[in-house]
Each structure stands twice: as C-alpha cells, then as structure tokens.
Amino acid sequence: VKALGWNGACFDIENMPNTALPAYEAMLVRAHEKFAGAGLRLTVTVPAGEPAWNLARFAAAVDDVIFMNYDDHWQGGTPGPIAAQNWFNEQLAIARRDVPADKLIVAIGSYGYDWHDGIADAMTIAEAWQEARESEAMPMFDTVSGNSGFAYEDTDETGTHKHTVWMMDAVTNWNQLVQLQGIKGVALWRLGSEDPHFWDVLAASRSGKRPALEQIPASNGTDIEGRGEILRIEAEPRGGVREIVWGANGTIADETYKVLPSPYVVRRTGGADPKKIALTFDDGPDPLYTPKILSILESKKAPAAFFVIGENVIEHPGIVRRIVADGFELGNHSFSHPNLAQESDFGTRLELNATRRLIESYTGRSLRLFRAPYFGDAEPSTADELRPAEIAQERGYTIVGLHVDPGDWKTPGADAIARNTIAQIEAGSETHSANIVLLHDGGGNREQTVAALPQIIDGLRAKGYQLVSVAELAGLSHDAVMPPISGADRAAVDADVGIFLTIGAIGYAIRWLFFFAIALGIARAVFMTVLALLDRKADKSRYANAPQPPVSVIIPAYNEEAVIVSSIQTVLASDYPALEIIVADDGSKDATSARVAEHFGSDPRVKLL
C-alpha cells in the first residue's frame, strides 16, 4: 500500500463460511494495528442481511465500514427485488445501531440482474434498458419494493427461456439516499453500471432539492448486432422519457417509462463464411513497398483492398492507377491521416471529400469503402469512434473494420507477421469473426510485410481458406464499391485534376524551397566560419608581440551621454598591452554614440557598435 502511494486499503472478502468470520475479524484487528502504525487507513466491506457478520465487532476492528445494502435477492438465489425499500430501511437501522456514524459508509446499488435458466447475469442499467427495448417489455416500477423490473421469454435452438429482470435505477437510488442522513458517506456499486441520473440524485439529496429525472440521457456505448467486420450504423443514440409521481414525504411514489434510452446500434455483416478472408492494406501508396505488394498479389492471383491516404496519392498517382487497372479495390483512409475522433464534423467531411475527389480525378472511379485512421477493430464502443463512421456512412461509404491485426507495423519479423495472421484467423469464432486482415503498405519500413505476404497467402490457402475481396464479404459488386464516374461529374473531376496537379506542384515547389533555404543556411554558416577564422588570424598578428593574451572589455550603454567618455577613459588608463574596448549602444535616445565617435573615433583600441 505504501509503495503504491495509497492512503489506505479496503478489504472486500466475500462469500466466506460463517465459521471463518471470527478469524477474519481477528486478522483485521492485527492488520489495523500495522496500518495505523504506518499512517494508513483500513476499511472493510460488510454485506447487509447477514446476521453472522457481527457489525459492532467489525466496526471496532477498522477505521470505516462500507455497509453493502443490496443483494436481498442475488445471483445465487431466486428472482426478486435487489434491495426492496422496506428491507433496505431495516438493514440500515441495524447498521446505524451497531456502527458509529463517523465510521458508517452505506453502499447502494445501481445495476440489474437477469435471472434465467437457473442462473442470473449481472447487468448495467443501460444493458437492462437495452434488453427491455429489444424484448419489447417495458420496465415497471414495483410500488411495494421500490425497485423496477420486467419479464419476457425468448426462443432459440435450445428451446424457450424465461427471463426475470430486476434493477435499481435512479428512482430507487433517490428513495434510498433520502434515508442516509447523518452518516459518514455513501458508496456506489458499481461505477459505470449506474443510471446516468444517479449523480443528479446524489447531489439533490445533499442540497435538499428534487432531482429532475424525467428526461433520460441517451445511452453510452454501442449495441452491436450480427457477425462480421463490415459495419453499418442503424440507429443513433436517443434519450428516454419517464414520468415521476412524488409522494408526500419527499420520496418518489411511482415511475412510468414512456420511452427507453438507446445507444448507437451497429449492424455487423460479412462474417457468414469463416473460410473467406479479405486482405487489406493501410497508409499507402508507398513508392517502394506498394509496387512490391502489388506484384506479389498479382502473381498469387490474390484480391486485396488498399485504404489510401490522400497526401500519398498526390505524390504517387501512377501507383493508384495501377491498383485500379489491376482490379484491386481502393478505400478512403482520409487525406492527412488524423485522428478523426479529434476532428470537427467539417474537418472529417473535408478529409473524406478531398481524398475521394483526388481518386476520382486520377482514376475515373469513386470510393465507397472507408476505414478511419487509428480505427483498431470492428467493435466501436464510443461516440468519438462512431461519429466519423456515421459521417462517412451519410456520404455513401461502407465502413470496413477488422479483427485480424498481426501488428506488422511493430516490425516483429516476417515469420511472426505470417504466424500471427494465420493464428488470429484460426481463432475466429461465432462471436468474434476473423475475416478481414489489416496489413500496411505505407507509413514506415514495410519490408517485413512484403516478405510475410507470400507466407500468409500460401499458408491460408493450404488450410482451406479462400481469399476474397472486401466487396464480396459485403455482398457488393466491384463497381458498387468503386463506381465509375458518370458523365455529369466528368467536368467537375476534370477541374479537380488541374487543382490537384497545382496542389502537387506547389508541394514540390515548397519542398525545393526548403532545400534551397537549408542550402543557404549552410552556406551562410560556412561563410561566417571562414570570416571568423580570418578575423582570428588577423587578431593573432595584431597582438603577436604582446606578452599577455588579448582582452576585450565590453561596455553596454543606453542613454549614457553624461558618463560614457569618462568610463572609456578609465579603462584606457590601464597599462595592459593587448586591450580592446567595445561600446555596445543599445538604442540610446541621446548623444551616447556621438560622444564616443567624437572622442575615440581615431583610437584603434575602441570599437563602437
């Protein structure tokens, strides 16, 4: 604890047999003595509804007690309210009786349980709402227990399954929090699973105000459905609505859900056949590695998709034309490879549009495949990952994720790249498809990728895998993912050709201007060095017969007209044989420089700057 810089520790050891509790309490007594001696605090969690846990003795053994006032019905038991209000109040009264108020921290729950098939799955409140939405079973508030719940049945190949879900949302939390006055603190189980309004009810319980719970924020995260690494956003996040009925004593008497909140809904496809594999290459085109990769793919008759960066396309349009002429696919990987999660919507659109128009101008075909830079998988979970994909989808793109990343950019060696690729593909499953492989043809030294590619192709084919295009995985044609430019767009594309050629020429010109500027800087440095050496040689001849080394006295002067002459005369009064005086006039507004020139203009020992 001390090594990690903590100011204490919490012992949370649960599900012990009752016979172990005396020994546990004795251990805490010994631990507390050591912790206190080291200036550290010691806390223990104690479950509610367990009489064998002697609250008074545990409280005496430690600094604080976290009283876990939930799980009246738990994962190992029968379905029911997780913490009914009456049960919660009864347990709280016991804790208040046995634990000093300045040691008592009451933990309340904000999560759910789904009982089915003899087991119970713990779930976040957002997951409970999502399950209710998908099963079309609106949660109902149980006025007796103060908890909410719902039930439904689903059927699969194994039969019909009955689900009973109970949860503690912000309404339950409010009714519990208003009972917790006069204790040391409140704890939450568990962070990240709570109703987003939990923090509002916590603040309101301390301020004495009623919380506004009617409008529920949109759910975080993503509801990902289907199998594969081709993604489509089917729904944006939306908020929910509930009606609240307040009771006479400041508690909430009833709650009615009208609309449940929802997160992004993403549909995955392309994973129906685990034996179909698509090779993709990011960050090109590169003048050295992309042609080598193309030659290998051509000789092996293996399809592939190249997700190109616009800046590289400007410099190497011939390689892009070769990719298209050879029948490979092109995808949009942005223009300058930024982290689109940190870009504005306008910036993302600009990145997409610039690269698309560039490809259209050079190849006569457009782009319909998109992969965002730094987009590492096919499991987008946050808004900053999904918003760029949403913008791309609005502009007609198909989002291409991935699950197979052998890490060729880490340059672990060609054999390791090939071995990791095949191993990850073979590890694919029903819930984790492995149909799309990420490799790189640009962005660094890709010699290892070039060397590994034949091993990957031959190794996969030897194991019965078929290499296919991304378009085939997505159920699309080649022209659908790279549509030819129509005659109506031709004039605009022709104009773009001139614009991009101009941009490219400016880029080359700026590059050579930098080279020229660097050359000028080097020439200047050499010239100044030569002058310095010549001046050093002159100084040596000037003081060749001096018995001591030359000395320079620098006099900085600013508006020193009244004293500058006497100051210089004082230095010149020295009998040192090799003496030089430099007067540095730092922009004087008076006649400092004029006085120096007037009195010492003919004295070789005095220099005025």
Find out whether 46 and 67 touch, Cβ atoms under 8 Å.
Answer: yes
Cα torsion through 80, 85, 89, 90, rounded to 10: -40
Q: Which pLDDT score, from 0 to 100, does residue 509 have?
A: 87
If you count them, how many residues does the chain have?
609
Q: Could you report the average pLDDT of every consecutive run of 10 residues in the chain (609 residues)? A: 95 93 97 97 97 96 98 93 97 97 97 95 95 95 97 91 97 96 95 95 92 92 89 92 93 96 92 96 97 97 97 93 96 94 92 92 93 79 83 95 95 97 95 94 96 97 97 95 81 70 79 92 94 76 69 95 95 90 95 95 93
Tokens of 85: 């209000």
Q: What angle do CA 384, 389, 393 make, to 5 degrees?
A: 150
**Phi and psi dihedrals of 570, rounded to 5?**
-60, -40
Closest among 21, 24, 25, 42 to 33, alpha carbons compared: 42
What's the distance, Cα to Cα, between the start and end of the chain in Å?
65
Find out whether 146 and 89 touch, Cβ atoms under 8 Å.
Answer: no
Rounded to whole angstroms, what are the CA distances from 202 to 35, 86, 143, 146, 213?
31, 20, 21, 17, 12
Residue type for 240, please?
G
Catalytic (active site) residue 273 = no
Q: Catalogue the E-assigned strands of 454-524.
A: 466-467
Rounded to whole angstroms, what are the CA distances from 518 to 460, 522, 524, 528?
50, 6, 10, 15
CA distance 373 to 442: 13
Q: Which pLDDT score, from 0 to 100, does residue 383 have?
A: 75
Q: Which pLDDT score, from 0 to 100, does residue 545 have?
A: 66
Q: What is the pTM of this model?
A: 0.68
Coil, helix or strand at residue 496: helix
Q: Which pLDDT score, from 0 to 100, does residue 260 have?
A: 96
Q: Which pLDDT score, from 0 to 100, does residue 547 have?
A: 73
Q: What angle do CA 456, 460, 466 make, to 5 degrees?
A: 120
Q: Which pLDDT score, from 0 to 100, does residue 215 have?
A: 96
Q: Which pLDDT score, from 0 to 100, does residue 542 have?
A: 60
As a whole number of Å, the CA-based R_g of the chain is: 38
Q: Which pLDDT score, from 0 to 100, does residue 497 have?
A: 66
Closest among 379, 293, 288, 388 to 335, alpha carbons compared: 388
CA distance 595 to 564: 8
Q: What angle do CA 233, 478, 398 make, to 5 degrees?
A: 10
Closest among 107, 104, 223, 215 to 168, alpha carbons compared: 107
CA distance 473 to 230: 8
Catalytic (active site) residue 440 = yes
Q: What residues form DSSP beta bridges with 484?
A: 365
Q: Which pLDDT score, from 0 to 100, does residue 546 have?
A: 61
Q: What is the DSSP letter of 591?
A: S
Coil, helix or strand at residue 236: coil
Residue type for 147, please?
N
- Out of 64, 98, 114, 282, the active site residue is 282
Is residue 310 packed enough to be buried (19+ CB in 10 Å), middle (13-18) or exposed (0-12)?
Answer: buried
- Out of 32, 316, 403, 440, the active site residue is 440
How many helices, marked H, and strands, marked E, lie in the chain? Answer: 18, 26
Find out whether 172 and 147 touch, Cβ atoms under 8 Å.
Answer: yes
Assign residue 251 a region: left if phi > 0, alpha if psi is -120 to 50, beta otherwise? beta
User: Residue ranges of the alpha helices (H) in 99-181?
Assistant: 125-135, 170-177
SS3 content of the chain, % helix, strand, coil (to 5): 40, 25, 35
The three-state DSSP-derived secondary structure of 344-364 is CHHHHHHHHHHHHHHHHHHHC
Q: What is the DSSP letter of 240?
A: E
Q: What is the DSSP letter of 79?
A: S
